[in-house]
Structure 1
Amino acid sequence: MRTSILFYLLIVLPCIGFAITEPPLITFPKAEILSEHTTRIPFKLVDHLIVIEAELLDQKGNFIIDTGSETLILNKVHFKSGKSIFGSRETSGVIDRIENPVEQRLREFMIKDILIEDKMSDVIDLSHIEISKKIHLLGIIGYNILKDYEVFVDMYLNQITLSRVDRKGEKLDHSVYLEKIVDTINFSLKKHTIVLEAFINDEKVTFGLDTGAEYNQLNKRSKKRVLKYFYPSQRILLSGLSGNQMEVMAGKLYRVKLSNTIYFAPMETLLTNLHQMNDAFGTSLDGVLGYEFFRQQRTIINYKKEQLYFIAFPINKH
């Protein structure tokens, strides 16, 4: 049995507590400004995590892009939290719970020249991720930062493009992408999680979509007609955000499709218990799609319209 690389999915429960601090300024020095409302940020893959370089309070380090996190998360190892004035909250993950993360309100959060104001952040000890990934980790960028943009996750070019949208989800820049959009599919938001209707063979299933998931997950309580397309290969240790671990079965999942035109090659997948996540959202997910999804589909996320757009891969001519 071998130890897996880190896999996590954040589910942040409702809360009323927060802490007020001085407004730090976060910048991304490698971002390319395309216009007043659009910026492009190169990323590196650390194992299967999307990581961008940033500077915050005179520190240079890395942020993970994670649509599975509700908030911006700062690493407690590097940032002292402010004094909480209303109490605490609780964050739950796939395999564990994190008690009482401290919250800070960031009045200014800047991606190069794009200013994002009045955002909440959690302060959590992420030192075990730093050790596991061997990176200087400043934090995690989640839904409350990303939701005001169309987010183009491009694994082909290893870059993320953020284009600001209005309340209806229309881009403020009308000519952003040179690439052609070849497909569109609707999703629903359960709190901050993107929920997709999909199929395994001809069996209808419901998946959450998460850029922070290093591996796909399949609920081990799924129907037998679904589980028959999961081919196990080995057992590994799954690490949660708080550092707790549990043993799970790893393998490949076959015959996944979103429609007759959007389908996937066999994907690396973990067989897990999603009971805690489903309880938190009052839903019933059959699984989670992560890195393997984005590796096969160049994807644009529009939270306001609750739609995904897919970009064609270039055709290689020999």
Structure 2
Amino acid sequence: MFVALRRQTQMMKKNIYVVLFVLLYFLFPISLKAKTNTLVHFKESLDSILDALQTKNYNDIKSLFASNAKIINFPSGQNDVIIPQLLNVLPIPSAYVLNNVEIEDDNTLIKVDYVVNKKKMTGSFVFGKDHKIIYCDIGSDDKSFSKKLSTIKAVPNGFRTNFLMDNKLIYVKAILNGKEELFLLDSGYSDMILNSDKMDKRDLNFSNSSLYGVGGKGHPVETTRINIFNWGGRIKKCDCEVKAAPLSYLNKDSIELAGIIGYDMIKNSQLTFDYSKYTLKVDFHKNSDKEISENGNLVMKIPFKLKGHLPVFPVEIDGKTYNMGLDTGATTNLMSSKYLSNLNNSLYDMGENKVKGFNGVVHLKKGKISETKIGNISFNDMNYSFNSEVSKQYNVDGVLGYEFLKKYITVVDYKSNEIRLYEGK
């Protein structure tokens, strides 16, 4: 009964506001009429925000905000991160009253006073020309709320970097112990690995760990201590031990490798690969509207499950389904050789592929597969190599790498367990 009475009271208040706005429109000068008319236009949004403050339900107001909205003094574009926290820490208002309306060009600033236990809490909203909220501030001017607001945590802003590509591998620049170095981005490895060939042997320590390459044979690794690793100002390791192994086989005339950035360094991020522009974007939260504006039309979403450190998803070849992992360091797609007999109808251009790794050169069978189907998209004539160890090593039927990543702008979102493909602009 009391709940029904409360709802009825709220509806009466809303109706009173509408009547008041209409009276103001006819009784006051033109400038105030324009403001009142504007407020009537945005009243539905303001009512929804009041409801969300009372119910703590962000989903009901999510669509009111522009994708790059700024919330108080937090970084722009983090609506999904900031607003739910803000709703949780703010007190519950019983109503709101108009404070001020200002119109400047295409933007409309509306200030309201929320009624909270006979006190007021100020809310400021800037609506853009598409009537989306581009700025929001609730409660920051009240010192009694400032301590609670300080508990809200934003995620770091992302960064964009150019990459070098050699032999279909991605090399990026990062700071290691105060010096800019080149690192291979390879999610096929679980950890960061430094190039022990560049180090003083006295700085290396014994380890019981081994690394496994394409050939399946383990190679012993050592450990070393680093002062600081800093990639893009956002991904860091400080004063810790990391693995080290001989990586000089990956060096080229223009590339002297300092190490490998593995899955552990990127597991809390999403990576956007654009091979046409040789750019890599690293983000820490999902922003669908921004992704589309930057990357063009969304072609497909591919949900995946993590097996160890590999995203794994189903792939169809010749009517059969295989569980394939994604490896950013795979120069060619790799598949277990036990499936060769299943591929007679689609495999062609057979030959031999030489792969250089920890344990020297490994000889693999190779060929092209006429159609690899993922969801409703066909990837035609991709290169594959075949190895008997891939199923044992990764517990998958194969891995996809460069051949898959290069076709579209590809977002690998480790936090959402999703790969998104975009057409590009």
Tell me the TM-score normalised to structure 1 length: 0.75
Q: Which AA in structure 2 matches 1:258? A: I
In structure 2, list runs of 5 or more residues that go unmatched: 1-75, 78-155
How far did 1:174 drift? 7.7
C-alpha separation between the residues in 1 aligned to 2:411 and 2:259? 23
Q: Which AA in structure 2 matches 1:150? A: Q
Q: Aligned residue for 1:290?
A: 401
C-alpha separation between the residues in 2 aligned to 1:249 and 1:140? 27
Q: Which AA in structure 1 matches 2:379? A: F
1:46 aligns with 2:175: no
C-alpha separation between the residues in 2 aligned to 1:80 and 1:158? 33
Q: Aligned residue for 1:269?
A: 384
How far did 1:199 drift? 0.3
Q: Secondary structure at the match of 1:296?
A: coil
How far did 1:59 drift? 4.2
Alignment equivalent of 2:199, drawn from 71, 74, 79 = 79
1:1-318 correspondence to structure 2 within 5 Å: 36-80=156-200, 82=203, 84=205, 87-104=207-224, 108-117=228-237, 121-131=242-252, 135-165=255-285, 170=286, 175=290, 178-180=294-296, 181-222=298-339, 224-240=341-357, 242-260=358-376, 262-273=377-388, 275=389, 277-281=390-394, 283=395, 285-314=396-425
Quick check: 2:174–2:230 contact (8 Å CA) kept in 1?
no
Report Cα offsets for 1:142-161 as digits up to 9, x if no partner: 10111111111111221110
How far did 1:56 drift? 2.3
C-alpha separation between the residues in 2 aligned to 1:227 and 1:110? 48
Quick check: 1:90–1:97 contact (8 Å CA) kept in 2?
no
How far did 1:106 drift? 5.0
C-alpha separation between the residues in 1 aligned to 2:364 and 2:349? 10
How far did 1:39 drift? 0.1
C-alpha separation between the residues in 2 aligned to 1:159 and 1:178? 13
Q: Which AA in structure 1 matches 2:408? A: Q
Quick check: 1:72–1:120 contact (8 Å CA) kept in 2?
no
Q: Aligned residue for 2:46?
A: none
Q: Alignment identity in percent? A: 23
C-alpha separation between the residues in 2 aligned to 1:230 and 1:120? 45
The change in CA–CA distance for 1:289 and 1:255 in structure 2 (over 3 A counts) is same
Q: Secondary structure at the match of 1:268?
A: strand
Quick check: 2:228–2:237 contact (8 Å CA) kept in 1?
yes
How far did 1:213 drift? 0.8
C-alpha separation between the residues in 1 aligned to 2:190 and 2:161? 21
The change in CA–CA distance for 1:57 and 1:220 in structure 2 (over 3 A counts) is same
Q: Secondary structure at the match of 2:378?
A: coil
Quick check: 2:177–2:227 contact (8 Å CA) kept in 1?
no
How far did 1:178 drift? 1.8
The change in CA–CA distance for 1:83 and 1:267 in structure 2 (over 3 A counts) is closer
Deviating more after overlay: 208-217 vs 245-254: 245-254
How far did 1:221 drift? 0.3
Flag the structure with more relative contact order, 1 or 2, with Cα contacts below 8 A and sequence separation at least 6: 1
How far did 1:218 drift? 2.3
Quick check: 2:271–2:280 contact (8 Å CA) kept in 1?
yes
Quick check: 1:220–1:227 contact (8 Å CA) kept in 2?
no
The change in CA–CA distance for 1:237 and 1:99 in structure 2 (over 3 A counts) is closer
How far did 1:252 drift? 0.9
Q: Secondary structure at the match of 2:338?
A: coil
Q: Secondary structure at the match of 2:208?
A: coil
How far did 1:194 drift? 1.6
Q: Which AA in structure 2 matches 1:278? A: S
Report Cα offsets for 1:112-146 as digits up to 9, x if no partner: 32242467631011112115x75211111110111
The change in CA–CA distance for 1:120 and 1:97 in structure 2 (over 3 A counts) is farther
In structure 1, list runs of 5 or more residues that go unmatched: 1-33
Tell me the TM-score normalised to structure 2 length: 0.57
Q: Which AA in structure 2 matches 1:234? A: G
Q: Name the structure with the higher helix share.
A: 2
C-alpha separation between the residues in 1 aligned to 2:348 and 2:400? 17
Q: Secondary structure at the match of 1:254?
A: strand
Quick check: 1:187–1:195 contact (8 Å CA) kept in 2?
yes
How many residues align? The count is 268
C-alpha separation between the residues in 2 aligned to 1:143 and 1:279? 19
How far did 1:205 drift? 1.2
C-alpha separation between the residues in 1 aligned to 2:424 and 2:289? 22
Deviating more after overlay: 113-122 vs 215-224: 113-122
Quick check: 2:172–2:183 contact (8 Å CA) kept in 1?
yes
How far did 1:71 drift? 0.8
Give the greater-gyration-radius structure (CA). 2
